[in-house]
Amino acid sequence: MTSTAPSRGAEMKITVDTPLKTPLGDKAARSLADHLDLHTAGDLIYHFPRRYDERGQHTDIRSLAVGEQVTVLAQVRATNVKPMRARQDKMLEVTVEDGAGGLLLLTFFGRRQIWRERDLRPGRWGLFAGKVTEFRGRRQLNSPEYQLLAGEDDAAGEVEEFAGALIPVYPAAAAVPTWVIARCVRLVLDTLEPPEDPLPAAVRAERNLAPLGAALREVHRPSSRGALMSARRRLKWDEAFAVQLTLVQRKARSASWPASPRPRREDGLLGAFDRTLPFELTRGQRAVGEEIAVDLASPHPMHRLLQGEVGSGKTLVAARAMLQVVDSGGQAAMLAPTEVLAAQHYRNLCDLLGPLGRAGELDSAPEATGVALVTGSLGVAARRSVLARVASGEAGVVVGTHALLSEGVDFADLGLVVVDEQHRFGVEQRDALRAKAAQPPHVLVMTATPIPRTVAMTVFGDLETSTLVELPRGRSPIASHVVPAMEKPAYLDRAWRRVREEVAAGHQAYVVCPRIGAVESEEDAPPAERAESARRPPLAVLDVAPLLTEGPLHGLRIGVLHGRLPADEKDTVMRRFGAGELDVLVATTVIEVGVDVPNATVMIVMDADRFGVSQLHQLRGRVGRGSAPGLCLLVTEATEATPARVRLDAVASTTDGFRLAELDLEQRREGDVLGAAQSGHRSHLRLLSLLRDEKLIQEARAEAEALVAQDPELTGHPALAASVAALVDEERAEYLGKG
């Protein structure tokens, strides 16, 4: 791609708001817009390099993942022109090395490509960009784009955009490789008017932060490692400070909202419930319950995050909070992401409360309330009846799915909203439920996914946080093992025998698959005989279940559960499994949260490498919930030492959810953590690492709290307010609010 930029004189200056076509020309600007969603000079300047390669140092080729779009810095080792059997033609094979023994094959097909042999001489260093494929065990790039770097034996001058020792490598697209981005950045930097620095001078001085203009220049064209580190620290500070200011402002505003106090009554429903419990609360449940009780009694709405390991007793803590609200004359609503989970919560609450949850029935307790379930699959008559109970206040505890948010669902006095697995819900959905209350209700957000401290501080920074770390007495240990199906197929045979052994002992099993059923195969016609080895589709419930029925689990009672089943059928399957009428449940991740069958002792996760770390930890928590120990077998075709296998080995090695949450964070984009995918925006966290930058985030939090205490709306800092608005737009800020 060549630039068609207009001629520029020294007097021409552009700002961050200038359209890219002004400094770059129409063609280059259109490519950046179409392929990278970059439209202004500011968009491009804030499109930071992903990493920096250094001449003489290597990119680790062995860490490249098949299917990944990559740019590698490597040295040409050998070239070879070979005939192609498929037709009378030739192809060029070029072997490049990363400097540490890692080899990558570059393939160019057709006679018209053979001229590249003169270009790609052994000894030349270059940047090579393309999609990683694998053929006969060798990593390769088919017809990659490349940019050669000048060396001592080359008469050519240095490529100007890579004049420094540190070579920036940008997030790129196939049509816009990193060297094109570098060229465009250089052209923009040459004419850019540095933006106004929004950070207060006192903060810059106290924290020893570089000026913004210098930081933006050094992050793209670093003069030294030290200058680059200083630039990145300053730009990370901007990101952390913008997020923390937003969250601190929101926390301050919500703390001033009025709410109906819901104080605890010793002689009410909660007291009666506590007296009927057949077990003793854990120390953690008592402590967290006390925190929540104090919050509920406040004239301002509670905004609290309750996190805890799978099986730590969060539902019981939430139930006690809901009963405290009912005691004060209010209602509590629990929002669950799926009908399976909503029905499970409903049954658990009914079982926990017993006569205390059967108001109006013959065997109800005098102080009883009603428990109602609202889902989208209710029939007309049933829906009319349950909504009347909710509207009258007869149902003090209401459990539901998204159906709770729909028009026509009215509460008599909604005092508490409990959101289970909050990451499954969007901002608008949470707000719709909150809007059904006359005054802002108290909000309790629950998650079974342990959250590293920096994520809690950044994503949930406007919520108070409570953590349950103990498991209730009687919970059994869970052993986890990786089953390498390709390397050792006998291990998979043993896994199925293990299921039969557990069933023979009177227990039950889960088999989890990534997909429900078959999808249409994608057209994939790679060139010549160097076809990309397409990864097979993930295993599907509807394919695996019959294979098990006819094969290794023949004779066992096998059920199927997935999201496409009608709600009543899903409920029937879960009831049968819970009652022990099924031996094995073949399911998707619909069982990931909330499903509680103490008799299930073994889980086999097929294609386990297709799941995330936290998801595997959640799934594993479905076994070992009774007196018998649990077993989780992670079946994979990933080979030893690959990133996927390393991830699975880590999951198998520990049941410490917080350690696994950190591992998960290491392997995920920060934007995913912050929910950019859910809000539909590109993540604004470009440099900040929630895992590695804990100290910096803590510093930014402290400065944000001090500044908001002095200037709540940042009226005395207009540039900073504008910067915050630009980095954290309103929709994203609402997402970050979590309630």
Token pair, residue 325, equals 């609200």
Contact yes or no for 5/23 (Cβ under 8 A): yes
What ranges in 304-379 are assigned the alpha helix state H?
314-327, 339-353
Question: What percent of the chain has pLDDT above 70?
Answer: 83
User: Which tops the pLDDT comparison, 4 or 97?
Assistant: 97
Distance CA 409, CA 436 (A): 8
What does the pLDDT look like over 47-94, one tens digit per residue? 999 888 876 566 678 778 787 788 888 889 999 988 876 666 788 999
Task: Single out the residue of 178, 150, 159 nearest to residue 47, CA to CA.
Answer: 178
pLDDT at 737 over 50: no
CA dist 480 and 620 (Å) reads: 8
Minimal CA–CA distance to 448: which of 648, 281, 692, 622? 622
Q: Which residues pair with 511 in a beta bridge?
A: 586, 604
Quick one: which of 74, 77, 112, 75 has its CA closest to 91? 112
∠ CA 366-313-421, nearest 5°, is: 105
Contact by Cβ (8 Å): 152, 125: no
Confirm whether 608 is domain-assigned: yes
Share above pLDDT 90 across residues of the chain, in percent, rounded to a whole number: 43
- Residue 113 backbone dihedrals phi, psi, to 5 degrees: -100, -10
Task: Give which of 465, 462, 405, 400 is closest to 437, Cα–Cα.
Answer: 405
End-to-end CA distance of the chain: 46
Strand, helix or coil for residue 562? coil
Distance CA 395, CA 406 (A): 18
Asked if residue 603 is part of any domain, the answer here is: yes
> Is pLDDT above 60 for 735?
no
Residue 387 φ then ψ, to 5°: -70, -30
Instruction: Give, as one character, the DSSP assignment of residue 159.
Output: P
Between residues 448 and 465, the one the model is more confident about: 465
Which DSSP letter does residue 57 get? Answer: -
Compute the average pLDDT of residues 406-426: 80
CA-to-CA distance for 679 and 132, rounded, in angstroms? Answer: 30
Q: What is the pTM of this model?
A: 0.66
Structure tokens at 548: 């098990």
Higher pLDDT, 1 or 563: 563
Instruction: Report pLDDT for 593.
Output: 63
> According to the model, what pLDDT value does residue 243 have?
86
Is 227 contained in some domain? no
Q: Report the alpha-carbon distance of residue 631 to residue 503 in Å, rounded.
A: 13
Distance CA 60, CA 52 (A): 13
CA distances from 400 to 372, 406, 581, 705, 735 (A): 8, 11, 27, 37, 22
Q: What is the largest CA-CA distance in the chain?
A: 96
Count of structural domains, the chain: 1
Query: What was the pLDDT predicted at 730?
Result: 44
**Of 239, 246, 179, the residue nearest 215 (C-alpha):** 239
pLDDT of residue 477: 81
Average pLDDT over residues 662-673: 59
Residue closest to 479 by CA, chosen among 602, 645, 613: 602
C-alpha to C-alpha distance for 448 and 450, rounded to whole angstroms? 6
> Is residue 8 scored above 60 in pLDDT?
no
What are the tokens at 619? 């799934």
CA dist., res. 231 & res. 229, Å (int): 5
In a domain, 493, yes or no: yes
- Given the structure tokens 């009927």, which residue do they identify? 276
> CB-hemisphere CA count at 13 Å for 290?
6
Q: Which amino acid, one-letter code, is at 84?
A: M
Tokens found for residue 459: 């994503």
d(CA 604, CA 598): 16
Bridge partners, residue 146, by sequence: 128
CB 397 within 8 A of CB 371: yes
Considering the domain boundaries, does residue 252 fall inside one? no
Angle between helices 730-737 and 427-434 (to 10 degrees): 70
* Cβ count within 10 A of residue 299: 10
> In one letter, which amino acid is 676?
A
Alpha helices in 628-729 (DSSP H): 643-653, 657-667, 670-673, 676-679, 694-710, 718-727
Q: Distance between CA 296 and CA 314 in Å, rounded?
A: 17
Centroid of chain to Cα 208: 33
Comparison of pLDDT for 401 and 737, the residue scoring more: 401
Structural domain harbouring 548:
478-519+534-654
Would you tell me the crossing angle of helices 283-296 and 314-327 to the nearest 10 degrees? 30
Query: pLDDT value at position 553?
Result: 97
Res 665 pLDDT > 80:
no
pLDDT at 601 over 70: yes
Mean pLDDT, residues 722-736 taken together:
58
CATH number reported for the structural domain that contains residue 565 in this entry: 3.40.50.300
- Looking from the CA of 559 toward its CB, the CA atoms found within 13 Å total 23
Q: Is residue 617 part of a domain?
A: yes
CA-closest candidate to residue 181, choices 33, 15, 74, 16: 33
Q: What is the pLDDT of residue 444?
A: 92
Q: What does the DSSP assignment read for 507-549?
A: -EEEEE-SBSS--PPPP---STT----PPPPPPBHHHHHHHHH
Token pair listed for 637: 């075709």
Inside any domain, residue 622: yes
- Other Cβ atoms less than 10 A from the Cβ of 111: the count is 13
Tell me if 577 is assigned to some domain: yes
- Token look-up 């909660």 returns 270
Residue 457 near residue 701, CB atoms below 8 Å: yes
pLDDT at 520 over 50: no
Confidence class for position 522, pLDDT limits 50, 70, 90: very low
